[in-house]
Amino acid sequence: MEVMSQPKYTGKRYRLDKPELLAPAGNLEKLKFAVHYGADAVYIGGQMYGLRSNADNFSFEEMREGVEFARKYGAKVFVATNIYAHNEDLEGIEAYLRNLHEVGIAAIITADPAIIEIAQRAVPEIEVHLSTQQSTMNWQSVKFWKEEGLPRVVLGREVSFQEIAEIKKHVDVEIEAFVHGAMCSSYSGRCVLSNHFTDRDSNRGGCCQSCRWSYDLFEEAPSNDVWVSEEDAQDQEEVSASKNGVTPNPLFQPEDNAFTMGSKDLCMLESIPELIEVGIDSFKIEGRMKSLHYVATVVNAYRQAIDSYMADPEHYVLKPEWVEEINKAANRPVNTGFFYDTPDHEDHIYEPEEKATPYDFAGLVLEYNSEDGKALIQQRNHFKPGQEIEFFGPGGTFFKQRVDTIWDEKGNVLDAARHAMQRIVIKVDQPVHYFDMMRCKRK
């Protein structure tokens, strides 16, 4: 990957010659993978003021290291400070923002007007991007935020292509939109279910993912002052003795699938031309709590699709292997969200979710010896001789082979690679490179 200089923010917007690919990074290792596999920018969370409190999140020293790594590839680092702040949350925010500036953060993503005002006053060198938490979906709202000095607006997930075109027609501002990842059952994250069920505030970083739970469904039986037939209520005494004269009647049978409010995931890989032509400036991938394999695979697929279209729009063709790669990293069924139409019952998940992907991240390439065709691999998941594996890397590197002999670093033959982070050696059929990944199909 060509190393480019880091663009400087000078008060005028730095315009990319093609859409920015913005990737999630839940920790420092994921940041490096995202950038290495083609992200133009990454968004991370600090240890305060973000909505993913259960992610690993970054210390200031980790942020500094991440920024330095990203700059080698011409990439930028954004920090999510997207909580809705209570009074006590604002104490220390100015010092926190100054620290972000000191370590080299390019922008913050925020929704709360108080945090926006403090950032613009205290650290004007850092860009302020409006978070999707504001549910911004019309051009007049976008115009308002531009006039407030924000160079970029992250639209609500509920906007359509037609609405985005209308926004771009009226307002000259950078538009960022989610193109891949989990969808919220509420308006762009404005959920209170978690608060209600567990006292964990979704809008202050504590979401318990209650929309993904399994739920039973009950029907209220008639109260004791309503006529009940012998067929409908065999035990009138039980009805009369129940609380408030109501006995819940479960509508699910034990063998039925439990109901969930969880939506299918968003995937717009097959709509790259439309995303570019409508004028979206930044393509955002959701998933700060997703795996390394997910981040690298999804970023790699979108990177190739975007670059292919920009190189020759008239002859652009979606390659099946890009879609296949996405499927290998998918956690849930996918759809196109609100871009083409309003999702209906077919865009929700009512069957048990297959959360695990069909492939395991098995190893990371550390070194390759072209003389003997052997690679030094850092083991990440169990694999053994005779098993089929796949290697993939940035830009489309991909091949399959069978594992033959496995050696440890001292040359001893192993019957399997079974110890996490163990450094092992195998012979590979084609050249590989540092940071290429190896995966194997889960049995």
Q: Any idea where the domains of the chain sit in the sequence?
A: 20-190+262-347, 359-441
d(CA 412, CA 433): 24
Q: Predicted confidence band at 436 (pLDDT cuts at 50, 70, 90)?
A: very high
Amino acid at 119: A
Is residue 93 within 8 Å of residue 126, measured between CB atoms?
no
Q: Looking at residues 47-52, what average pLDDT do you find?
A: 68
Nearest to 397 by CA among 422, 423, 375, 421: 375
Give the rounded percent of residues in the chain with a pLDDT score beyond 70: 85
Quick one: pLDDT at residue 437?
Answer: 97
Question: Which CATH superfamily is 359-441 part of?
Answer: Translation factors (2.40.30.10)
Q: Predicted confidence band at 216 (pLDDT cuts at 50, 70, 90)?
A: confident
pLDDT at residue 432 is higher than 80:
yes
40-49, 128-137, 339-348: range with highest mean pLDDT: 128-137
Compare 358 and 25 and report the one with higher pLDDT: 25
pLDDT at residue 365 is higher than 50:
yes
Q: Predicted confidence band at 237 (pLDDT cuts at 50, 70, 90)?
A: very low
Same fold flag, 20-190+262-347 and 359-441: no
d(CA 10, CA 19): 20
pLDDT at residue 1 is higher than 80:
no
Q: Looking at residues 436-440, what average pLDDT do you find?
A: 96
pLDDT at residue 231 is higher than 70:
no
Q: Mean pLDDT lowest for which of 176-180, 184-188, 262-266? A: 184-188
pLDDT at residue 245 is higher than 90:
no
pLDDT in tens, 134-161: 999 999 999 999 999 999 999 999 999 9
Q: Looking at residues 407-435, what average pLDDT do you find?
A: 96
Q: Looking at residues 26-37, what average pLDDT do you find?
A: 96
Structure tokens at 212: 């993904």
The CA-CA-CA angle for residues 123, 128, 132, to 5°, reads 150
Can you name the CATH fold of 20-190+262-347?
TIM Barrel (3.20.20)
The CA-CA-CA angle for residues 85, 156, 307, to 5°, reads 120
Quick one: pLDDT at residue 86?
Answer: 87
d(CA 26, CA 337): 24
Quick one: pLDDT at residue 356?
Answer: 56
Quick one: pLDDT at residue 198?
Answer: 80
d(CA 41, CA 25): 10
Compare 245 and 414 and report the one with higher pLDDT: 414
Q: Predicted confidence band at 3 (pLDDT cuts at 50, 70, 90)?
A: very low
pLDDT in tens, 79-92: 999 888 889 888 99
pLDDT at residue 401 is higher than 70:
yes
Contacts of 337-343 with CB under 8 Å at 24 or more apart are 337/157, 337/178, 337/183, 337/266, 337/268, 338/157, 338/158, 338/159, 338/160, 339/160, 339/161, 339/268, 339/271, 339/274, 340/160, 340/161, 341/160, 343/263, 343/264
Quick one: pLDDT at residue 77?
Answer: 98
Nearest to 422 by CA among 439, 432, 407: 407
d(CA 238, CA 221): 11
